[in-house]
């Protein structure tokens, strides 16, 4: 897929701010950015997250370009930052970026797909095994003084694994599944037939995906079509032995209903790296023994963070004007 209107011959940006707290977690990225932009303002305070519009506006005031992660880029933010010309994304999620507002204000977007796909796919694979083998409840039991000799789980090998969203990360997850001899089901709104044929993936409709998957891994973007997609009806249609994994985006699964699904036996287990509110606050869900929670760390590997940062720096000069309704904003 092509992104039109790439930058060409535009004057370089000079005043750069990086509110994205995760950027400074890799010291090599800080050094790399400062070599090119010595006066860049970088958030290295660790605990601060510029997640409200007011905080983002205050941090980016007077800047021409920004490297963002979870910060909100809305019409209100851009109206208050008339000097801002470029927003470059650390990572791939664009659910907090308003393409219509960016286009209206003439602000360009630096964005590279797939930069963290291996890291997220590896975590999804680990979560699948963790859920199938009861790793968390066994660990909690041992730490509580229980001394069980064994507990039967299931191997990933040979399982029916559903992949909801066969994009960059979903495809990488499927590649990692190859040695396990799984029967893989794929479900996607796009035509993924060529890839699926190459890797022996059976393309199915959502209803069949829900009904057959022993492991179901969500790799969808958050948009109006996927928000709360996994509601009561959907979770009721999953197999009672299903392990549900979400490394996509919070808000795709209704977490209140998920609690019922896990406590009432609709599904066997769930493992989530993403939540509607982050960090998550629903202790009732988080403390369930058949629920595995990680703190949105799918892309938090040294290797992925470097690639994300390097491409974000590149995005300060290689960027485009977003078009609502077109890639990567098909559902905006």
Q: Which residues are part of the catalytic machinery? A: 249, 278, 296
Residues in CB range of 96: below 8 A, 6 or more apart:
70, 71, 72, 73
Contact 162/212 with Cβ under 8 angstroms? yes
Contact 217/238 with Cβ under 8 angstroms? no
Contact 216/238 with Cβ under 8 angstroms? yes
Output the CA torsion 28→32→34→37 (10° steps).
-160
Contact 214/239 with Cβ under 8 angstroms? yes
Contact 216/209 with Cβ under 8 angstroms? yes
**159 C-beta neighbours (distance < 10 Å), count:** 21
**DSSP secondary structure string for all residues of 200-253:** TPEE--HHHHHHH-SEEEE----STTTTT-B-HHHHHTS-TT-EEEE-S-TTSB
């Amino acid at each position: 897929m092509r992104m039109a209107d790439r930058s060409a011959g535009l004057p370089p940006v000079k005043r750069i701010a990086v509110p994205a707290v995760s950027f400074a977690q890799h010291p090599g990225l800080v050094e790399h950015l400062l070599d090119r932009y010595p006066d860049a303002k970088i958030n290295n305070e660790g605990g601060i997250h510029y997640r409200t519009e007011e905080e983002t506006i205050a941090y980016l005031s007077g800047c021409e370009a920004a490297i963002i992660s979870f910060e909100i880029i809305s019409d209100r933010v851009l109206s208050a930052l008339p000097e801002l010309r470029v927003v470059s994304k650390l990572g791939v999620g664009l659910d907090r970026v308003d393409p219509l507002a960016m286009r209206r204000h003439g602000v360009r977007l630096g964005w590279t797909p797939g930069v963290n796909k291996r890291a997220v796919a590896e975590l999804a694979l680990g979560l699948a095994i963790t859920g199938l083998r009861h790793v968390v409840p066994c660990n909690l039991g041992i730490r509580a003084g229980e001394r069980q000799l064994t507990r039967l789980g299931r191997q990933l090998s040979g399982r029916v694994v559903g992949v909801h969203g066969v994009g960059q990360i979903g495809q990488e997850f499927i590649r990692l599944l190859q040695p396990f001899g799984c029967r893989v089901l794929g479900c996607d709104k796009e035509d993924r037939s060529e890839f699926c044929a190459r890797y022996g993936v059976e393309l199915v409709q959502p209803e069949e995906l829900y009904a057959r998957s022993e492991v179901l891994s969500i790799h969808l973007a958050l948009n109006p079509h996927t928000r709360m997609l996994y509601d009561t009806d959907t979770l009721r249609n999953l197999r009672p032995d299903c392990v549900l994994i979400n490394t996509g985006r919070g808000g795709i699964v209704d977490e209140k209903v998920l609690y019922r699904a896990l406590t009432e036996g609709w599904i066997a287990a769930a493992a989530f790296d993403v939540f509607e509110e982050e960090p998550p606050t629903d202790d009732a869900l988080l403390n369930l023994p058949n629920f595995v929670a990680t703190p949105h760390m799918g892309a938090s590997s040294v290797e992925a963070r470097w690639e994300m940062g390097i491409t974000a720096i590149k995005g300060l000069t290689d960027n485009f004007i977003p078009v609502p309704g077109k890639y990567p904003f098909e559902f905006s």
